[in-house]
Amino acid sequence: MTAHAPILEAERLAAPETPFQQVWRTFRKDRLAMAGLYVLIGLVALALLGKLLTEWWVVFDPAAVRLPDKLRPPFSTPSAAVPAAQLPAFGVYFFGTDELGRNVFARMLQGSFVSLSVGFVAVSISLAIGITIGGLAGFYGHRKWGPFSIDGLLMRFTDVVLCFPTFFLILTVVALLPPSIYNIMAVIGLTSWMSTARFVRAEFLSLRERDFVVAAHALGLPEWRIIFRHMVPNALSPVFVSASIDVAYAILTESALSFLGFGVRPPLATWGNILADGRDFIFDAPWLFAIPGSAILIVVLAFNLVGEGLRDAMNPKLRKRSS
Amino acid sequence: MWRYLLRTLWQRLLLLVFISIISHGIVHLAPGEPTEVDPMNPMMKAEDIARIRKAFHLDDPFYLQYLDWLRDLFSGNLKSFQNGLPVLPQIWARFLNSLPLFICTTLLVWTLSFPTGIHAAVRRGSRYDRVTTFLAYALISVPSFFLSYLLIMGVVQVLHLPVLGLRTFGSDQLSAVPRAMDSIWHLTVPALMSALAGATGVAVLSRYVRAQMLEVLDQDYVRTARAKGLPEDKVIYDHALRNALLPFVTLFGFLLPGLISSSVIFEKIFSWPGLGQLGYDAIIGRDFPMILTLNFIAAALTLVGIFVSDILYALVDPRIRLQ
């Protein structure tokens, strides 16, 4: 048995690395990015737990109003005036209470799921639009539609949208539409797809000329298969980077909208509107401001660090062949 | 060259027309009308609503409203729905308020981010580089109003000085010198804040400077300069920096539209009566002419910015030919 071991070892080394393994190997060495990744994994777990514990199996009730216990500091215990049914879990307000005596810990738990889903849904919308428009412009761009080329039409449209003052546009639309969390997700998504479209178009233009795509054409594969099986996976690496940073941007935008009074409506809690409401009590109850603010800072920082780590790991110039 | 300029000018004008049509579409097709600002008001009767709609031409077909707006805008007769005053003089007055803030912010951003970024690139991987990198990410990730409120709280509690608004209440009774000092102080804090935490602030720009410098420092001509035995300062500031600066010429163009779009949050935080506040109030009041005109101006500024930066780029970089 021992005689075979070196040969097996050699075979294993000879096996080519998949692109995913290459990226992962570089990414793993970036300590900041790895810290960000751990935070994000923890956050997703926390968000799911939050959904579970505040809605399906209510351990922490984010909506329970306890007027005798207004603006209690963190780790304080409820007063005797609170009815037994409304006592917080474990008998402690971990993060204190707000101006209506609601448990801030429960609200933060609920908000983690809402804030995260705002980020993810908004970015999914922007990715779907960006990849579609960029892909169409890159793949079918040379075709004509009347006197115009498809590429020209789609990219001029992208230019038009790029010229809108984004935040002002978001504000206008959110203010005019009926207040709803879905509108906010949709509006953020609809105003942030332009850079994705440009990336994907540029990638498609160069991929279209590559040998493996030409070979796929020569083999007579259907076009949809060439696009989705062969080209899209190769065009995705810049998209991943911008997606991760866009989630961060969407969470920040949601909190900015809350600050201006156009955010997600109560009673649904997001980190943004807990923070925005907390500013009225900044001197009396600083924890109402500090806790959601730090939470947003940490999470957005994690998304940014992971995005930058991915960008470095996917950049072949920075990636070394030897491990 | 001239043919290129004329052609782009013509294209940009066409783009502007499309943008104004689309923004009209968004504003007019979205639910929410000037008559619905105060839906609970019992004094509002159906005939009042009809009268208001007639006075504002809201019952006219879409293209007529658009043509009306265009005609009024260029003849200077465009009136705000909210106060009946002409739109353009109001915008001009607010623009004069926003301008000093914008200029101070821009100066701060550019003077701070270049030394930081260059230094980080030259000492790549050093403690300084890692600390500024982390700080830059933290500044990008923090909700701007959270940081601003912390700063306001600190200034008010430690220095006992007011920070909000254009000037201290009652300062107009002072003589010229203290009044000027008061105005400058009121300008400092918001300018510093929007320079540090703004969307196009020090954090973003210094990262960009660093990336550009790293790119250039790897080039052959830098190695040649070093091989010739030039002093390191001359290599970095003469040979490398001048080439690294090229892309920043285009950034000048993208600064202009920030006047309207990115100022909303900071002007709201610091109660600064500038363009951003004007836009915010217009959105709250569903003041269609004001919203549309601000949007139009912002888009025009973006296009002018791109145009100017194209020309600047061609002037600075002899490798670029406009055709």
Q: Per residue in A167-221, pLDDT tens?
A: 888 888 888 777 788 888 998 998 889 888 988 888 888 888 888 888 998 998 8
Mean pLDDT taken over chain B: 82
Task: Give the model's pLDDT for residue A157.
Answer: 86
Task: Give the model's pLDDT for residue B79.
Answer: 80
Chain A nearest CA to B134, separation (Å): 9
Closest CA to A295 of B144, B194, B143, B265: B143
Q: Do the beta carbons of residue A310 and residue A40 sit within 8 Å?
A: no
Closest partner residue to A177 (CB to CB) among B23, B32, B265 is B32
Chain A nearest CA to B108, separation (Å): 23
Closest CA to B133 of A317, A40, A30, A196: A30
**Phi/psi at A27 (nearest 5 deg)?**
-60, -40
Task: Test B280 with A171 for CB contact under 8 angstroms.
Answer: yes
Task: Test A165 with B22 for CB contact under 8 angstroms.
Answer: no
**Chain A touched by B19 (CB under 8 Å):** yes
Instruction: Name chain A contacts of B303, Cβ cutoff 8 Å.
Output: 163
**Chain A touched by B90 (CB under 8 Å):** no
Mean pLDDT of A65-94: 71
Q: How much of chain B exceeds pLDDT 70, in percent?
A: 91
**Chain A touched by B125 (CB under 8 Å):** no
Q: Do the beta carbons of residue A112 and residue A106 sit within 8 Å?
A: no
Closest partner residue to A165 (CB to CB) among B149, B261, B303 is B261
Chain B nearest CA to A192, separation (Å): 14
CA distance A210 to B240: 34
Which residue in chain B is spatially nearest to A33 when comparing CA positions?
B134
**Chain A touched by B198 (CB under 8 Å):** no
pTM (predicted TM-score): 0.84
CA distance A58 to A109: 12
Task: Give the model's pLDDT for residue A127.
Answer: 92
Task: Test A305 with B137 for CB contact under 8 angstroms.
Answer: yes
Beta-carbon contacts below 8 Å between A and B: 122
Does B144 or B30 have the greater pLDDT score?
A: B144
Q: Report CA torsion sign: B68, B70, B76, B78.
A: positive
Angle formed at CA B165 by CA B163 and CA B170, multiple of 5 degrees: 90
Task: Give the model's pLDDT for residue B192.
Answer: 87
ipTM of the complex: 0.82
